[in-house]
Amino acid sequence: MSETIAVAQGVQAPPTAREAIARLMAQYVNVIDNDELERWPALFTEKCLYQIISRRDHEQGLPIGLWFCDNRGMLEDRVNSVREVNVFEPQVYRHVIGPTEILGHTGEVYRAQTSYIVVRTMQDGEMMVFSAGRYLDEIVVSSDTALLRKRIVITDSWRYDTLVAIPL
């Protein structure tokens, strides 16, 4: 699994950390794509940041994006909202992610980036590219376990054709 992790020149990352990060990336997209959203918040540390922001807004340093959650409880609230409150046409996501590049680390915290594309399938079978961009992450690796401390989802486009109800 560690072959899905690239290490930036000069950055040292032990195989156990690379493998833990690769497992985390696979679990992340699978819990979303397989509609196991209740498992999604557990992939983050208790005190965390999850943000969806357009590339344009990110490059301009604008602080507010489409989603902003700064702890696991907020992520759990988002899942509850999807299940209990939000009304939207049933849809399915399918993520395709590129290799994760480890950019650096301090102790147990690794900085990484991963490109992604999400195809959305609607109830009538229509499929379309829903979002493309990259994840900028801070990942805490302890022993052989990795958790997201920070995930900034930077979407290449600033346009969304519908409410982003499900995490990217």
Q: What is the mean pLDDT of each run of 10 residues along the chain (168 residues)?
A: 61 88 97 96 98 93 86 94 75 93 94 96 92 97 95 89 76
Contact 125, 165 (CB under 8 A): no
Predicted confidence at residue 25, as pLDDT, reads 98
4/40 Cα distance (integer angstroms): 21
Predicted confidence at residue 162, as pLDDT, reads 62
Predicted confidence at residue 133, as pLDDT, reads 97
Predicted confidence at residue 159, as pLDDT, reads 77
156/79 Cα distance (integer angstroms): 24
Alpha helices in the chain (DSSP H): 15-33, 55-59, 72-84
Predicted confidence at residue 65, as pLDDT, reads 81
Domains of the chain, each with CATH number or no CATH = 2-155 (3.10.450.50)
